[in-house]
Amino acid sequence: MALRPATRDDVSRIMQLLAEDQISDQRDDPDGDMTPYLAAFDAIAADPNNGLHVWEEDGEVVGCFQLTFLPGLLLKGGWRAQIEGVRVDRRFRGRKIGEQMLAEAVRMSRAWPECRVLQLTTNKDRRDAHRFYRRLGFTASHEGMKIKL
């Protein structure tokens, strides 16, 4: 088991993991045209403040997350780490893979110069995810809002 940077070849599998979620399956088609997802991967890979990571078990990608570092003026000019798209294959849940992935994200965030906080958003309907994040020490300190463009 190991966390590694994602490659372009992982994009299709990552999209399968993301679409496996009861909420994501309404937004993306992992069996459709991969062109927009590959373009997004290329943009992520080209940005030194951005990374897409996968967790492998016996050569199979079974988990993923995106970690982005954002500069800001708040927190004495500190950086924020934003984690998104955290998923573990349903067949591998209960094996502490999600915990290990989040522990790695925390480690990477602490290693980033001047990074002061690791934050995430999670859909209000993902109650199991909320319990998981709370158990790992995350607190629901803010209310997230979005507007579709």
Enumerate the β-bridge partners of residue 2: 56
What is the full DSSP assignment across 35-80? HHHHHHHHHHHH-TTEEEEEEEETTEEEEEEEEEEEE-SHHHH-EE
User: What per-residue confidence (pLDDT) applies to 47?
Assistant: 98
Which residue carries 């158990």 as its tokens?
135
pLDDT score for 15: 94
What does the pLDDT read at residue 1?
75
Question: How many beta carbons lie within 10 A of that of residue 95, not counting itself?
Answer: 15
This prediction's pTM: 0.92
User: Tens of pLDDT along the chain (149 residues)?
Assistant: 799 999 999 999 999 999 887 665 556 666 778 999 999 999 999 999 999 999 999 999 999 999 999 999 999 999 999 999 999 999 999 999 999 999 999 999 999 999 999 999 998 888 999 999 999 999 999 988 889 88
For residue 135, the surrounding DSSP H or E stretch is helix 127-135
- Helices and strands in the chain: count of H runs, count of E runs: 5, 5
**What are the residues facing 65 on neighbouring strands?**
53
Structural class in CATH, domain 2-135: alpha beta
| Residue 33, pLDDT score | 87
In angstroms, what CA-CA distances link 148 with 39, 145? Answer: 21, 10
**Residue ranges per domain, the chain?**
2-135
Dist CA 91 CA 57 (whole Å): 12
Nearest-angstrom CA–CA distance, 85 and 66:
6
Judge whether 101 and 51 are in contact, CB under 8 Å: no
Position 24 scores a pLDDT of 57
